Amino acid sequence: MNDQEKIRVIQRIGLMILIFSPALLALWILFMSSGPLSKATLALIFFIAGCTGVIIAIRREIPMSLQSLKGKSAVIQGISLTITCWLIAIYFAIYGLK
């Protein structure tokens, strides 16, 4: 692997971190929560994680270190991720863990 390929892989990893930052933020909130999780905390975690799907749908790309998923399939996956996470967030906001 030459230097340009290494730089390209490092740039892709940086782009992955930026695009998935809402999901990483939600994971950080989950780990930093002490005690039992409240309904509001669980709803917030899934709502923030769903924002990752919005970013993917707008960019029309799911970056990976070597090859990206682009186009219509990335948009479909981004929208489905958003809908799923936000429906789970609504469920937790209404019912919590029962």
Average model confidence (pLDDT) across the chain: 88
What per-residue confidence (pLDDT) applies to 98?
A: 72
pTM to 2 decimals? 0.81
* Res. 14: pLDDT tops 80: yes
* Residue whose pair of structure tokens reads 């695009």 in the numeric block: 19
For CA atoms 9, 65, 70, 89, the dihedral sign is negative
pLDDT tens-place string over residues 35-50:
778 888 999 999 999 9
Q: How large is the average pLDDT for residues 18-47?
A: 89
Cβ neighbours for 61, distance < 8 A, ≥ 6 positions apart? 19, 68, 69, 70, 74
pLDDT tens-place string over residues 55-87:
989 988 887 766 778 889 889 999 999 999 999
